[in-house]
């Protein structure tokens, strides 16, 4: 039987009052002063100031340096005028903090020294103590002091994506070992996914206790699954994470890549805002997410990040189209359909923000 952290019923900690922040207003289905915009991976390699700061510093070292992660997080707010900061982190940060032998290898991504393949491997997974991510939460507290009225979004990887990295040993195109284990040893799969859900939940609650204003659960690889497999093997564990932070009363964003056929299930996992990649028009996503008799859904997205390399007239037309399609929703947070690509011209991102704010 899965073991879940004991949750108190004490009031959520005091956090900044940001009643007019466009991102938070839109996320709750209200009418913001303008369409809010932020970009996944806005804090990163597209910015020269980031590259200068990170020179010679390994990724995980940067993620555990409070001053550095705070500076990196705030850089795109300072440069672009986006409506939210997203905590500079990585989905493997809580695993690394808990003691899993995992590293981020340049040009490859997360690499696991001892992949998880057996019951003994699952039983050996550590729990996460909030103290193990104290440098991250110290960085959050610095950001809360510095961001003024700009919301800060907390961040974590979803159990399925974390499990795939652990089982495959690193990034995978086909997730063959993951799917094989999932179907051939479902009890073992659920034990693993449950353990990872507990780690993720502890990490998100630590960020929330430090003052983040919203959270995003990022399921990078969920689009590799059929809807049936998602509902059986993934949804219960993502739902455990999202329900576990419900008592904080902050918007919960859920995003995955290639998940057009899973949007309704991702909503059912407990998302207040469903992120949509570039493959599906937002008005069609709204149609798929709408529940008869329910409130109009809130969506996030969904400019193709590759189109930021096109000419400005092309980009402008796409931005205008997406904003128009987003008006079908109960709320729309403009974003990319995935993360900012490393070679993106940061001046283009700034122009996109200005355009979205003008529409």
Nearest to residue 341, comparing CAs of 79, 40, 69? 40
Model confidence over 101-156: pLDDT tens digits?
888 887 777 888 889 989 999 999 999 999 999 999 999 999 999 999 999 999 99
DSSP 307: G
- Measured in Å, how far apart are the chain's first and last C-alpha atoms? 51
Q: Give the position of tokens 């003008």.
A: 358
Task: Out of 15, 41, 198, 252, pick the active-site residue.
Answer: 41
Q: What is the pLDDT of residues 43-95, one digit of tens each?
A: 988 999 999 999 999 999 999 999 999 999 999 999 999 999 999 999 999 99
Contacts 24+ apart (CB under 8 A), 95-101: 95/162, 95/166, 95/199, 96/60, 97/64, 97/128, 97/132, 97/133, 97/136, 97/203, 98/125, 98/126, 98/127, 98/128, 98/129, 98/132, 98/199, 99/126, 99/132, 100/125, 100/126, 100/166
Residue 132: per-residue pLDDT:
96
The residue annotated as part of the active site, out of 16, 28, 54, 231, is 54
pLDDT number for residue 220: 87
Catalytic residue from among 50, 165, 230, 248: 165
Closest to 239 in 3D by CA, of 265, 203, 262: 265
Does 11 have pLDDT greater than 90? Answer: no
90 included as an active-site residue = yes
Give dist(CA 19, CA 186) in Å, integer. 44
Angle CA(296)–CA(255)–CA(298) in degrees, nearest 5? 15
CA dist list (Å): 103 to 95, 100, 113, 175, 310: 10, 9, 8, 19, 34
The answer to whether 240 and 4 have CB atoms below 8 angstroms apart is: yes
pLDDT of residue 79: 97
pTM equals 0.93
Q: Give the active site residue among 90, 213, 219, 272.
A: 90
**Catalytic residue (choose from 45, 117, 141, 288):** 45
User: Annotated catalytic, 41?
Assistant: yes
45 is an active site residue: yes
Paired residues of 252 in beta bridges: 215
Using an 8 Å Cβ cutoff, are 290 and 267 in contact?
no
pLDDT of residue 169: 86
What percent of the chain is modeled with pLDDT above 90?
A: 87
> What pLDDT does 267 receive?
96
Structure tokens at 7: 């949750």
């Amino acid at each position: 039987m899965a073991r879940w952290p004991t949750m108190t019923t004490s009031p959520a900690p005091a956090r900044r009052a940001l009643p007019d922040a466009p991102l938070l207003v839109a996320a709750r289905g209200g009418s913001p002063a303008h369409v809010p915009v932020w970009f996944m991976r806005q804090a990163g390699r597209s910015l020269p100031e980031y590259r200068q700061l990170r020179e010679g510093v390994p990724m995980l070292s940067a993620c555990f340096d409070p001053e550095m992660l705070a500076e990196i997080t705030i850089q795109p707010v300072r440069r672009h005028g986006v409506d939210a900061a997203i905590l500079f982190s990585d989905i493997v940060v809580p695993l690394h903090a808990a003691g899993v032998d995992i590293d981020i290898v340049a040009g490859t991504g997360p690499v696991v020294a001892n992949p998880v393949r057996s019951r003994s491997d699952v039983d050996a997974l550590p729990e996460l103590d909030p103290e193990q991510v104290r440098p991250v939460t110290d960085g959050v507290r610095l950001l809360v002091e510095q961001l003024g009225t700009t919301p800060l979004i907390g961040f974590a990887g979803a159990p399925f994506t974390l499990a795939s990295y652990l089982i495959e040993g690193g990034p995978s195109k086909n997730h063959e070992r993951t799917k094989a284990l999932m179907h051939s040893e479902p009890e073992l799969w659920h034990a693993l996914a449950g353990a990872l859900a507990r780690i993720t939940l502890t990490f998100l609650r630590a960020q929330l206790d430090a003052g983040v204003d919203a959270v995003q659960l990022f399921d990078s690889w969920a689009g590799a699954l059929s809807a049936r497999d998602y509902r059986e093997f993934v949804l219960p564990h993502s739902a455990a994470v999202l329900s576990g932070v419900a008592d904080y009363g902050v918007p919960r964003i859920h995003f995955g890549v290639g998940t057009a056929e899973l949007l309704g299930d991702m909503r059912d996992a407990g998302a207040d805002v469903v992120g949509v990649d570039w493959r599906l028009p937002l008005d069609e996503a709204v149609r798929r997410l709408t529940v008869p008799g329910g409130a109009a859904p809130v969506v996030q997205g969904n400019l193709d990040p590759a189109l930021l390399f096109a000419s400005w007239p092309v980009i402008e037309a796409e931005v205008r189209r997406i904003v128009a399609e987003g008006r079908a929703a109960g709320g729309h947070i403009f974003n990319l359909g995935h993360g900012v690509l490393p070679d993106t011209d940061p001046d283009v991102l700034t122009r996109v923000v200005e355009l979205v704010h003008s529409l």
